[in-house]
Structure 1
């Protein structure tokens, strides 16, 4: 069976994408999207792929609107988030505790990195997220989500707005501009302390399959998982999550997403899977 597939270039997908890992049951037809996250919207809105990489917050939101896809227990991107928050240094020193009432830019309010960072800021640094003047540049992947943030003007660029003093801080970005500094001053120390507290590595992207594929061809979905798992095992740089580590990470991003009203309620982790994929965890 040939499957229309969206997967980015990650350490854990390399062996799969270069043909080192093959199957007698499945052939993956990779559809190029650059960056990969540009393919998440057509997957959510049009069911464009049989198998797709997917930002976990986008999946949670899609799940809340009963979009026809199911989660596989395969992580392709995970990272600590503290290094993806920046501020405009020329305007004076800014720390996470100073964000209340500030103008903060983010590509889309529903990005997974943004949800992780807001959760960290609210729960670990005491930031009042409702006090912030949020400025966004794109709509959500899930069309039904009602975005109440302020939209940046046409043609505006997020880092340039920060440099120009139109924003005080941004989330979800990296920059080497000399006027831009990390919001968390000692990123490594912050990440170590945060992990010590929560015992969580933040999951960014996992893999989903169409609900139809899972219902009609469960053997194919199981084979896709086998291939993903073998590809991940072939790289020492691929994310490594056992069942309990994945559970903790998913529980925390579910909590953060519910707190931020990205989803109407906190799902149980088991709800994210169907009978086929739940058995693969």
Structure 2
């Protein structure tokens, strides 16, 4: 069975994408998108792939509109988020507490990194998200989502707007340009402190399959999951490895953040994110 597949170039996908591991049951026709997240919109809106990497917040929103995709319990990208928040030091020193009432730019209000950072800012630093003047540059992957943020003028770039003083801070970006500083002054210390409090590594991307594939070819879905797990096991030890417990804890937190921010209508139970088939695979995740 040949499967049209979107997977980014990660350490955990390398063995699968370079053919080091193979299957007698399925073959992957890899489709190139750069960056990979450019393929999420066609997957959500057109079901363009049989197998697809997927931002977890996009999946949560897609589920709320009953898009025909099913989540696999497999993480391909996870990272701490604190480094992805910047401000322009020309305006003076800024801390998370100073964001109330400010102009904050973000590529799209529905990005997973943005949702994580807003959740961190609101729940750990007491930032009033509703007081912020949000400026966005792209629409959501999920067409049905109603975006009430202010759209940046056509042709404007997020980092340049920050440099020009048209934004006070931005989320979801990193830059080494002079004058731009991290909103969290000691990023490593903040990450360690946050992990000590919550015991969570934030999930960015997982993998989905089409609902049709899950319903009609369960053996193929089990094989896809096996191959993903095998490929991840061959990745360097530094690559993120999630036990079922680790994955559940991270998913519970991003579900809560997404619900708080109005990205989804309610906080789902983690088990609701899977179907009867993929739910049985959870205990086979890396331990």
- Normalising by structure 2, we get a TM-score of 0.97
What is the correspondence of 1:182-201 to structure 2 with a 5 Å cutoff?
Answer: 182-201=182-201
Aligned to 2:239: 238
Alpha-carbon distance in 1 for matches of 2:274, 2:60: 11
Alpha-carbon distance in 2 for matches of 1:149, 1:93: 26
Alpha-carbon distance in 2 for matches of 1:130, 1:245: 30
For structure 2, the 5+ residue unaligned runs are 283-287
Aligned to 2:177: 177
Alpha-carbon distance in 1 for matches of 2:21, 2:89: 47
Cα shift readout 1:6-65 (whole Å, capped 9, x = no counterpart): 000001000000000100000000000000000000000000000000000000000000
SS of the aligned residue for 1:201 comes to coil
1:101 is the counterpart of 2:101: yes
- The offset of 1:238, in angstroms, is 2.7
What is the correspondence of 1:161-176 to structure 2 with a 5 Å cutoff?
Answer: 161-176=161-176
SS of the aligned residue for 1:76 comes to strand
SS of the aligned residue for 2:12 comes to helix
Aligned to 2:285: none
Cα shift readout 1:62-104 (whole Å, capped 9, x = no counterpart): 0000000000011000000000000011111000010000000
Aligned to 1:150: 150
SS of the aligned residue for 1:83 comes to coil
Aligned to 2:281: 280
- The offset of 1:192, in angstroms, is 0.4
Alpha-carbon distance in 1 for matches of 2:259, 2:132: 18
Cα shift readout 1:232-263 (whole Å, capped 9, x = no counterpart): 00012332000110000000000000000000
Aligned to 1:269: 270
Alpha-carbon distance in 2 for matches of 1:244, 1:66: 26
For structure 1, the 5+ residue unaligned runs are none
Q: Is the 8 A contact 1:76 1:238 kept in 2?
A: no
Cα shift readout 1:158-209 (whole Å, capped 9, x = no counterpart): 0000000000000000101101000000000000000000000000000000
- The offset of 1:151, in angstroms, is 0.2
1:114 is the counterpart of 2:105: no
- Normalising by structure 1, we get a TM-score of 1.00
Aligned to 2:17: 17
SS of the aligned residue for 1:63 comes to helix
- Count, aligned residues: 281
Alpha-carbon distance in 1 for matches of 2:261, 2:244: 26
SS of the aligned residue for 1:134 comes to strand
Alpha-carbon distance in 1 for matches of 2:20, 2:209: 22
Aligned to 2:137: 137
Give the superposed CA RMSD.
0.4
Alpha-carbon distance in 1 for matches of 2:69, 2:117: 26
Aligned to 1:76: 76
SS of the aligned residue for 2:13 comes to helix
